[in-house]
Amino acid sequence: MTTLTLPLLFLADTVVLPGMVVPVQLDGERQAAVDAARLAAKNTDDNPQVLVVPRIDGHYGAVGAIAEITQIGRLPSGEPAAVIRATGRAKVGIGVNGPGAALWVETTTLDEPSVDDETRELAREYKAVLVSILQERAAWQVIDTVQRITDPSELADTAGYASWLEDERKVELLEAADPKERLTKLLEWARAHLAELEVTEKIRDDVRETMDKTQREYVLRQQLAAIRKELGEDGPDGPEDYRTRVEQADLPENVREAALKEVSKLERSSDQAPEAGWIRTWLDTVLEMPWNVRTDDTTDVNAARDVLDADHAGLDDVKDRIVEYLAVRTRRATRGLQAVGGRGSGAVLALVGPPGVGKTSLGESVAHALGRKFVRVALGGVRDEAEIRGHRRTYVGALPGRIVRAITEAGSMNPVVLLDEIDKVGSDYRGDPAAALLEVLDPAQNHTFRDHYLEVDLDLSDVLFLATANVADTIPPALLDRMEFVSLDGYTEDEKVAIARDHLLPRQLERAALSSDDVVIEEEALRTVAGDYTREAGVRSLERLLAKVLRKVTTKLAKDPSIAPVQVGVLDLNEYLGRPRFLPESQRDGSMPGVATGLAVTGAGGDVLYVEAATMEGEAGLSLTGQLGDVMKESAQIALSYLRANGARLGIPVEALSGRRVHVHVPAGAVPKDGPSAGVTMTTALASLLSGRPVRPEVAMTGEVSLTGRVLPIGGVKQKLLAAHRHGITEVVLPKRNEADLDDVPAAVLKDLRVHLAEDVSEVVAIALAAEDATARTVQAA
């Protein structure tokens, strides 16, 4: 125990326990106590101290709280005030003299006994009951503070803040120095209060349940309307307005029931509650959806085909498929046949082809031909599964998926939805969007598609989905199986000229603010640009070059308008575009043995692939360069082994291979290459090297080779033949088993190409290698 002399500060109807921090309004008596304390501590570094004694109903407490004065100032009303922090208990003693006008007393501090295990157990029980009380009162922040208190005495003294304790009981706690005694009393009082709260809540629930539901809702609605009117919140977005909008909207029955449930939740919630904002956003999304809006499809099949032909040249496969879909749908509608539950009435087409062939723009043409709304969904780089299925409404900033947003944007339930770049969809820890598309693109399942945000069934069976991709290899097999595969392999030169003349040139003339009176580009010039300045499956580079020509023409006209119209012919292209960037392959030097021309398919369409072979002194073996994949390396090894085993039969001297190293290189080493279709090309290049007979430059080949010399079938025949045609190749060697694929190749291309079908590598070598007398003449001339 310690004896202190402190000024008295009486608080009426307030009990301060150690650990509490409270503001005190200063009247004359309290101001005197504060001034006296400050005067006594003037020459010390300690905070001024007072003894705070409760005065309850005119009775003075025998024990007070020793408190430090931490701050002195004024209340917002301008009255003086001080903030005190209680630090301990002290018993009020006899009065003594002290500075100032305050009443000074001699006090004796009350020391607390040590804490034993029983006290700690009482503290744990009291903390549990106290947390239950705070939970009933929804005081979540206070719970966190209580949970962090570990000292039993400090925990007991927090009761000074409890509004459910009478001041007389707080005085008992102040006078009890032993924390065990305090906790025992508090545990009894807290349990009684918790039981009272539970009984009150039970009575409230019983009364609520016994009320008539209709009457209760009516009374609550009237009260809520009156409250909102007084608060000025009775606006157009009120719950009553939402209920009216839902009841008047043309919604499916299951959607209407879900919307009315959400409106009921909104009516019961406060405007300040986060749930109110979520519910409003959800209701707005549902009401914006065109649940029962459908456009009428065009029934004239011939007119639809005319629209497709007018918008795009070529692409007969996809045009035929669209016309077939329209014809079947029209016939079913005429006969009154409808799909049961929407099951299987939609269509999903996958347009796979190199860049620039018109896959994306074809979607707009299809919508135009069918008389439907069109909306494009870009999937390139999408990695989050929620982008397709939507976010749960509990997330901040939750939105429906892209499919739902596309239908809302289209304004009808049967639009043409273009899923652009579906092969560029990625996956990571957030999910796999391609997997979420499985239900969307399955005509047997998408009549009950469920978005995570909407959480109601959405019928997608009337939507015509078009998916575009550059390559099908990166599309998951399960997803590709749900779509009808349509290959767009590129355009012939005649088709490119037609597209440039009818579509690209008019568009670029408009962008350059020119007309046919200002510039005339001859058709032969368009053909030269397509053949000598571009080498692509599509027409993007062709359009860029036309734009470049028109920009230069515009510059000329700006300098001298009198030269209009400007004529652009073949001879003028060198001035506008420079020298041709590509020459036909047949113009290349074909006198070098060991070089063969192959055909390949890339993400940009078909292309030619050169294989070069050489032998040199050194350790026997095979070197491969050109960033080749494992399959292509194996093809080179098979080609070398086949020639070693069958060289004598083919008339090719293979003795030179003994003790020498063979090097096979595929140019463009920065580009990764793989696949089995270069097998015959590698075999031919090695046969040319060993025989000394060059490969004819006008011949290109493709096919997989086996160890026994069989030529095995490959894919991408149409794209490879189109590439050969673009590069000026006149003869192509294909596997015999790919003969059926020639039906897909345009007749104009087949007319300019001589196609050889081979079953054995010996046939390829005989076709590709130059005759021996021709080789001799070439060497003699050299």
Answer yes or no: do 59 and 9 share one domain: yes
**Residue 211 predicted with pLDDT over 70:** no
Answer yes or no: do 404 and 480 share one domain: yes
Answer yes or no: do 284 and 263 share one domain: yes
Domains contained in the chain, number:
6
Residue 582 resides in a domain: no
For residue 173, the SS3 value is helix
**Residue ranges of the binding site for ATP:** 353-360
Residue 583 resides in a domain: no
- Domain CATH number, residue 137: 1.20.58.1480
Answer yes or no: do 324 and 234 share one domain: no
Instruction: Give the pair of three-digit tokens for residue 567.
Output: 């004529």
Q: What is the mean pLDDT of residues 338-346?
A: 49
- Domain CATH number, residue 557: 1.10.8.60
Of 487, 508, 534, the residue that ends a domain is 487
Residue 159 resides in a domain: yes
Q: Which amino acid is at 777?
A: R
Give catalytic status of residue 515 as yes or no.
no
Model confidence pLDDT, tens digit, residues 623-657: 888 888 888 889 989 998 888 888 888 888 887 77
- Domain CATH number, residue 34: 2.30.130.40
Model confidence pLDDT, tens digit, residues 748-760: 888 889 999 999 9
Give catalytic status of residue 677 as yes or no.
yes
pLDDT of residue 430: 67
Marked catalytic residue, from 345, 365, 635, 677 = 677
The residues with which 699 forms a beta bridge, in sequence order, are 731
Q: What is the radius of gyration, based on Cα positions, of the chain?
A: 45
For residue 204, the SS3 value is helix
**Residue ranges of the binding site:** 353-360
- Domain CATH number, residue 593: 3.30.230.10
Which of 542, 599, 605, 600 lies closest to 353 in space, CA to CA? 605
Residue with tokens 């839902």: 246
Answer yes or no: do 278 and 405 share one domain: no
Of 170, 190, 209, the residue that ends a domain is 209
pLDDT of residue 391: 84
Which of 61, 56, 63, 45 lies closest to 14 in space, CA to CA? 56
Q: What are the DSSP E strand ranges found in 13-145?
A: 21-25, 49-56, 59-60, 63-74, 80-96, 104-109
Residue 567: which residues within 8 A CB-CB, separation 6 or more? 520, 522
Percent of the chain with pLDDT over 90: 24
Say which DSSP state 693 is in. Answer: P
Residue 268 resides in a domain: yes
Model confidence pLDDT, tens digit, residues 215-268: 676 677 677 767 766 766 555 555 567 888 888 888 888 888 888 888 888 877
Answer yes or no: do 329 and 455 share one domain: yes
Q: Print the domain residue range for 140.
A: 117-209
pLDDT of residue 620: 79
Model confidence pLDDT, tens digit, residues 124-148: 999 999 999 888 887 888 888 888 8
CA-to-CA separations, 18 to 64, 173, 187, 777, in angstroms, rounded:
10, 10, 19, 115
Residue 294 resides in a domain: no
Residue 428: which residues within 8 A CB-CB, separation 6 or more? 383
Q: How far is CA 737 from the centre of its chain?
A: 43
Q: How confident is the model at residue 521 (pLDDT cuts 50, 70, 90)?
A: very high
Residue 296 resides in a domain: no
Which of 160, 156, 189 lies closest to 65 in space, CA to CA? 160
Q: Which amino acid is at 589?
A: D
Percent of the chain with pLDDT over 70: 92
Instruction: Give the pair of three-digit tokens for residue 473.
Output: 């290899």
- Give me the sign of the Cα torsion angle 539, 541, 543, 546: negative
Q: How far is CA 668 from the centre of its chain?
A: 35
Residue 568 resides in a domain: yes
Helices 359-370 and 301-311, axial angle in degrees (round to 10): 150
pLDDT of residue 775: 47
Answer yes or no: do 480 and 529 share one domain: no
Which of 151, 21, 35, 166 lies closest to 101 in space, CA to CA? 35
Q: What are the DSSP E strand ranges found in 264-328?
A: none
Q: How confident is the model at residue 271 (pLDDT cuts 50, 70, 90)?
A: low
For residue 714, the SS3 value is coil
Residue 410 resides in a domain: yes
Q: What angle do CA 160, 164, 168 make, to 5 degrees?
A: 60
Answer yes or no: do 604 and 681 share one domain: yes
- Domain CATH number, residue 423: 3.40.50.300
Distance CA 303, CA 326 (A): 11
Answer yes or no: do 338 and 480 share one domain: yes
Of 88, 109, 130, the residue that ends a domain is 109
